[in-house]
Amino acid sequence: MHSNKKGKNCNTNRDSGGSPRPKKSLGQNFLNDPKVVQDIVLCGDLTSADAVIEIGPGLGAMTGRLAEAAGLVVAVEIDGDLIPGLETLCRLYGNIVLIHGDILKLDVEKDIIDKYVRPLGLSKVKVCANLPYYITTPIVMKFLEECPDLIDSLVIMVQKEVAERMIAKPGGKDYGAMTVTVDYFTEPSIQFIVPPHCFRPQPGVDSAVVKLEVRKTPPFELKDKDHFFRTVKAAFLHRRKTLANALANSSLIDANAADVCEVLEVMGLNVMARGETLSGAQFAELSNRLLEKKS
């Protein structure tokens, strides 16, 4: 630790209480309301037979409560400055595994499930986290697209507007590619809203705790999952275009405007329809029928 001439502490990595100073670049808005922490853990429906992944344990506000409720907590934290404090927490509880790393770079099955969860005789995990908001979408997509079969549910704190996008219905401005993807893999619900004053430092937006219950069976049949997601992505890339134009001009899928219009007519939809008006099931039918035309 450095001292200035007057002997004052000038280590800028620590605040006046000695805690690591929050890093905006890592989305560090730490929870400082025990009631919110308790309510998030309750939403997880955890028992001692559960293994839970916590993304970004931070100063450990939720980690101890999770360790009390679940059989095992695997906590993944990217910030090396927070690791010593978390190691102390690990020593207090015997059932926390701490991984110092980037959640987006880990292989969930190989690095977490195979190493720590399967040896306990479990095959699935629950996710509970106050997410770093700058990477909410990549984290949610990673878990849903890479390993939906290994996840029971995700209870996550996200920005309120992201929560609204997750549960949006077709036709509204919030409805988009993320809505369709979340709906394909899960049954989403907003559990409660969390105001900025429950965090330190306070974020500039309201937050919401969302529960995503991973579906046991898909809601509709897909001929090719990858083609379905590329169709959805292409449809929402240019929201102002008609669906026929958006798909025909996209490099994501191989379709021409005439084929798309023909399929929309067969499906009883307006050829001038925009992507945001189609439900997930309608996107599935569109993707399946476009593939049939190619075969």
- For the chain, the farthest-separated pair of C-alpha atoms sits apart, in whole angstroms, at 80
Report the interface residues with ligand SAM, using CB under 6 A: 26-31, 55-59, 61-62, 76-79, 82, 102-104, 130, 132, 135
Cβ at position 199, least distance to ligand SAM in Å: 7
Cβ at position 34, least distance to ligand SAM in Å: 11
Cβ proximity to ligand SAM: between 123 and 202 the closer is 202
Q: Which residue is nearest to ligand SAM (CB)?
A: 56
Contacts of 112 (CB under 8 A, 6+ apart): 53, 74, 76, 99, 106, 125
Characterize the bridge pairing of strands 51-55 and 72-77.
parallel
Q: Phi/psi at 183 (nearest 5 deg)? A: -70, -35
Q: How many beta carbons lie within 10 A of that of residue 129, not counting itself? A: 24
HEC states along 159-216?
Answer: EHHHHHHHCCCCCCCCCCHHHHHHHHHEEEEEEEEECHHHEECCCCCCEEEEEEEECC
Cβ at position 23, least distance to ligand SAM in Å: 7
- Cα 204 to Cα 95, 136, 218: the distances in Å are 35, 16, 37
Residue 130: enclosing H or E segment and its boundaries? strand 125-130
Collapse the DSSP code of 37 into the 3-class scheme (helix H, G, I; strand E, B; otherwise coil) and give the result: helix
Cβ proximity to ligand SAM: between 96 and 291 the closer is 96
Cβ at position 161, least distance to ligand SAM in Å: 16
Cβ proximity to ligand SAM: between 132 and 176 the closer is 132
Cβ at position 126, least distance to ligand SAM in Å: 15
Cβ proximity to ligand SAM: between 61 and 150 the closer is 61
Cβ proximity to ligand SAM: between 4 and 12 the closer is 12
Q: How far is the C-alpha of 32 from the C-alpha of 25, rounded, in Å? A: 19
Cβ proximity to ligand SAM: between 150 and 158 the closer is 158
Cβ at position 41, least distance to ligand SAM in Å: 11
